[in-house]
Amino acid sequence: MFARILTGALLTAAATLALAPTASADPTPDWNTFYDKTANFVAPFDPGAFGDKGDRALVLSPYGTGRIIECKGDGHYVAVYCRQFDDQGREHAITQIISAPFRGVYVYNPF
């Protein structure tokens, strides 16, 4: 009797594992590569900056979010660094000046 119960339990477990979907997690991002993070920012004069887009970081830049803002790093293993390009294609840092527990504020460095 015990052998039949044990066999039934093992068959049930094997069937469950065989039919379970496999994990399809996204690959771990490379924190040393720049990614487009423009959607994480909002300019202070954009509609909704203090309404429905209030969860996004403010960016004080002459280009606002009209140009791509790229960031790399996770803030733990690799320092976060953000950049934006000007009309001549020169890279400018977007530096965070206010962070947690307040809303993030980033400033365009013109130099």
Residue 99: inside a domain? yes
Residue 93 located in a structural domain = yes
Residue pair 111/94 in contact by the 8 Å Cβ criterion: no
For tokens 């403010």, the residue is 58
User: Would you say residue 18 lies in a domain?
Assistant: no
| Number of compact structural domains in the chain | 1
Asked if the structure places residue 19 within a domain, the reply is no
Conformation bin of residue 21: beta by default, left when phi > 0, alpha when psi is -120 to 50: beta
In a domain, 55, yes or no: yes
- Sign of the CA dihedral with 45 first, then 46, 49, and 51 last: positive
CA 93, distance to chain mean position in Å, is 18
* 103 C-beta neighbours (distance < 10 Å), count: 14
Residue 22 lies in a domain: no
Higher pLDDT pick, 33 / 17: 33
pTM: 0.70
Residue 41 lies in a domain: yes
For range 48-56, the mean pLDDT: 93
- Residue at 30 is within a domain: no
Cα distance from N-terminal residue to C-terminal residue, the chain: 81
Q: Is the pLDDT of residue 51 over 80?
A: yes
The whole-number pLDDT of residue 17 equals: 46
Q: Which domain holds residue 101?
A: 35-108
Sheet holding 35-36, edge to edge: 35-36, 70-72, 81-85, 91-98, 105-108, 57-60, 41-42
